[in-house]
Amino acid sequence: MLKRFLKVGQSNINSVIDQLEDPIKMTEQGIRDLKKDLQAAMESLAQVKAMAMRTRREANAKQKLAEDYENKAKKLLLNASKGAMDTAEAERLATLALEKQAELTSEAKRLSDEATGHETMSATINTSVSKLRSTLTTYDNELITLKARAKTAASTKKINAQLSTIDSSGTVAMLERMKERVEEEESLASAYGEILDQTDTTDNEIDKALADKTPKGSAMLEDLKKRMDIEK
């Protein structure tokens, strides 16, 4: 009983191992996992691209604003040189404009560097997405081939199993018995034919003998003439 229980347990373990090692199931699971990874990578790519675009726009806006403050400082100094405004006041305001310009330029550079980082990361993720797509295509094609091979192997295995269970010696013996049976039937039919031929021959002999004893047409004619007293 213990041995039987151990055999059943071992059989179940082997079945589980076979399922775990089924290449088709493993490939299908791998493809599903890759598709999840691809989806996550594409979402990350979209997010990083959006951040890169937004940061780049902010950097450009800060840089443009910095240039505007520089232009304002130039105009203030130009107006002072023309006597349109007090020189001290013009220089004070120009200094404030240049300080604002420097602050905005620094902020624009920081945002530009951040945008560049996002763009670099976006390119890296995009490369990963392309590789994942290529890998998925390869795995899909391999899975199709693997399924076709597995189906062919299963069919071949089934046919070979059926052929292996055929008792060739028993089949040959059965054919021999059928051959003997047919030959017996043919011999019996031939015997009946010979008997029928013999019966037909006997009947023919009897009919011929009776026919020979029957008066011929000319004899009957002479007999009739005698009875009518007709001479030649």
Tens of pLDDT, residue by residue over 89-100, are 999 999 999 999
Q: How far apart are CA 28 and CA 35, in angstroms?
A: 11
Amino acid at position 99, single letter: E
Domain containing 38: what range?
A: 2-166
Confidence of residue 206 (pLDDT cuts 50, 70, 90): low
Is 22 part of any domain?
yes
Q: How far apart are CA 96 and CA 94, in angstroms?
A: 5
Same domain, 189 and 77: no
The token duo for 115 is: 């945008």
Which residue's structure tokens are 């040189």?
81
Same domain, 197 and 127: no
Asked if 102 and 21 count as a contact pair (C-beta separation under 8 A), the reply is: no
Mark which of 116, 132, 166 sits at the end of a domain.
166
Asked if 143 and 24 count as a contact pair (C-beta separation under 8 A), the reply is: yes
Same domain, 156 and 207: no
Is 96 part of any domain?
yes
Same domain, 59 and 94: yes
pLDDT of the residue at 14: 54
Same domain, 34 and 130: yes
User: How far are the Cα atoms of 67, 74, 102 from residue 95, in angstroms, in the given order?
Assistant: 14, 10, 10
Q: How far apart are CA 99 and CA 231, in angstroms?
A: 179
Is 231 part of any domain?
no
Q: What 3-state DSSP class applies to 67? A: helix
Confidence of residue 20 (pLDDT cuts 50, 70, 90): very low
Residue 84, domain CATH: 1.10.287
Mean pLDDT of 100-126: 96
Residue 10 has pLDDT above 60, yes or no: no
pLDDT of the residue at 230: 61
Q: For the ranges 10-14, 149-153, 195-199, which has the lowest average pLDDT?
A: 10-14
Same domain, 191 and 150: no
Please give the tally of structural domains in the chain. Answer: 2
**C-alpha angle 136-142-147 in degrees, rounded to nearest 5:** 125
Same domain, 180 and 94: no
User: How far are the Cα atoms of 160, 169, 170, 214, 216 from residue 165, in angstroms, in the given order?
Assistant: 9, 12, 11, 76, 79
Residue 45 has pLDDT above 90, yes or no: yes
Q: What 3-state DSSP class applies to 228? A: coil
The whole-chain average pLDDT of the chain stands at 81
